[in-house]
């Protein structure tokens, strides 16, 4: 049995729980491929599993997103061959490893013009934005939206895509240093929400009309105030928990605040069918190839430094998404 290296957790907790160890390499089943990773994504989602916020079976290899080269294929795999360069954006776990086995219906081909590092830093986030702006709600010219953590990984992509579709983009950032980068990526009105009340700022910017859609990946700290930014019948998209999960909501609040809509979506649900996974990836890659969306890679870490990569992602002073290089 061949061995390979992976960053593994045996318990949940702070980033120190990662251990770099040798694990057994499985043979691909008939519908699977064996992939040698070339770059691996590090997402906020991974921190939820590591910390124990989301339940997980242990020991575990985290990481839902990576890019690599196919080294072996199972007998029934027809869409891919050895040597193909492919990526996956939404496979639960197994990413923080040199090599992995994965079902062929979870991988997508990668255009030659897009680098491994760009794919690893952004495919999951980019495909998330694709469903947020095209399918969950179709952003159109004239819409005004609020993007929390506008200078974060998802935030920078969301600002660029929504701006391209004609929306006015209001965004929140924690520091003055993030204002410029948010503006450079399509955010018309960055609000430093650590210094001012963002609901009051939204009122001023929109002259009281308020917001059509709020995209909230912060959770606990912003959830209730985000509802107060919406116009009557506006849409609250709660899609993450960077500050912890939101407190329970009394549904009557939605009627009191103006017949609001609320949803708590995941990429996994919006890429459930293989046709959706392929279409979402293609739509995102098209945006990169047309230079409509630019990706800011943060820091490159060796695979064994998964703990440092998590600390970097959770450090609010950093800008750009970290990646792991095997």
Ligand X SMILES: NC(=O)c1ccc[n+]([C@@H]2O[C@H](COP(=O)([O-])OP(=O)(O)OC[C@H]3O[C@@H](n4cnc5c(N)ncnc54)[C@H](OP(=O)(O)O)[C@@H]3O)[C@@H](O)[C@H]2O)c1
Binding residues vs ligand X (CB under 6 A): 43-45, 124-125, 128, 149, 151-155, 173-174, 178, 217-218, 221, 239-243, 265-267, 314, 316, 321
- 65: nearest Cα among 89, 39, 97: 89
- Output the CA–CA distances (angstroms, integers) from residue 24 to 57, 62, 97, 114, in the order listed: 18, 16, 11, 31
To ligand X, the closest distance from the beta carbon of 296 in angstroms equals 10
Nearer to ligand X, 60 or 218 (CB): 218
To ligand X, the closest distance from the beta carbon of 94 in angstroms equals 17
Nearer to ligand X, 100 or 125 (CB): 125
Nearer to ligand X, 32 or 201 (CB): 201
Beta carbons of 21 and 217 less than 8 angstroms apart: no
Nearer to ligand X, 149 or 205 (CB): 149
Token pair of 317 as six digits? 């002073």
To ligand X, the closest distance from the beta carbon of 73 in angstroms equals 29
The enclosing H or E element of 301 equals: strand 297-302
**Long-range contacts: 191-197, Cβ < 8 Å, 24+?**
193/148, 193/222
To ligand X, the closest distance from the beta carbon of 174 in angstroms equals 3
Q: Report the half-sphere exposure of 11 (CA within 13 A, side-chain side).
A: 4
Nearer to ligand X, 134 or 266 (CB): 266
Q: Angle of helix 116-130 relative to helix 274-289, nearest 10 degrees?
A: 120
Nearer to ligand X, 33 or 147 (CB): 147
To ligand X, the closest distance from the beta carbon of 155 in angstroms equals 5
To ligand X, the closest distance from the beta carbon of 251 in angstroms equals 21
- Output the CA–CA distances (angstroms, integers) from residue 150 to 83, 156, 178, 186, in the order listed: 37, 6, 8, 10
Nearer to ligand X, 125 or 183 (CB): 125
Q: Where are the alpha helices (DSSP H) in the chain?
A: 44-51, 116-130, 153-164, 177-184, 198-205, 223-227, 252-256, 267-270, 274-289, 306-314
To ligand X, the closest distance from the beta carbon of 121 in angstroms equals 10
- In 3-state terms the chain splits into helix, strand, coil percentages (rounded to 5) of 30, 25, 40
Nearer to ligand X, 43 or 73 (CB): 43
Q: Which residue has the tokens 């869409």?
A: 79
To ligand X, the closest distance from the beta carbon of 256 in angstroms equals 26
- 44: nearest Cα among 18, 27, 65: 65
């Amino acid at each position: 049995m061949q061995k390979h290296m992976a960053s593994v957790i045996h318990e949940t907790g702070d980033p120190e729980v990662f251990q770099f160890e040798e694990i057994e390499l499985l043979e691909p089943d008939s519908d699977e491929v064996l992939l040698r990773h070339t770059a691996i994504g590090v997402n906020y989602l991974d921190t939820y599993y590591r910390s124990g916020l989301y339940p997980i079976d242990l020991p575990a290899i985290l990481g839902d997103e990576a890019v690599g080269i196919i080294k072996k294929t199972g007998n029934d795999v027809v869409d891919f061959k050895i040597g193909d360069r492919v990526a996956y954006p939404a496979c639960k776990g197994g990413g923080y490893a040199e090599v992995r086995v994965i079902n062929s219906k979870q991988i997508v081909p990668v255009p030659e013009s897009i680098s491994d590092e760009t794919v690893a830093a952004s495919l999951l986030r980019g495909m998330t934005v694709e469903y947020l702006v095209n399918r969950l709600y179709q952003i159109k010219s004239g819409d005004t939206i609020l993007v929390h953590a506008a200078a974060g990984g998802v935030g920078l992509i969301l600002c660029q895509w929504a701006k391209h579709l004609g929306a006015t983009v209001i965004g929140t950032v924690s520091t003055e240093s993030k204002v410029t980068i948010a503006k450079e990526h399509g955010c018309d009105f960055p609000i430093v929400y650590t210094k001012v009340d963002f609901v009051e700022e939204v009122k001023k910017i929109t002259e009281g009309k308020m917001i059509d859609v709020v995209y909230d990946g912060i959770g606990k700290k912003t959830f209730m105030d985000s509802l107060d930014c919406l116009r009557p019948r506006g849409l609250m998209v709660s899609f993450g928990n960077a500050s912890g999960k939101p407190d329970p909501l009394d549904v009557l609040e939605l009627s009191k605040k103006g017949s609001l809509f609320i949803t708590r979506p995941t990429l996994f649900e919006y890429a459930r069918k293989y046709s959706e996974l392929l279409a979402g990836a293609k739509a995102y890659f098209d945006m990169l190839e047309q230079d409509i969306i630019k990706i800011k890679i943060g820091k490159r870490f060796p695979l064994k430094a998964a703990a440092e990569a998590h600390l970097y992602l959770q450090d609010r002073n950093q800008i750009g998404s970290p990646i792991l290089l095997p």
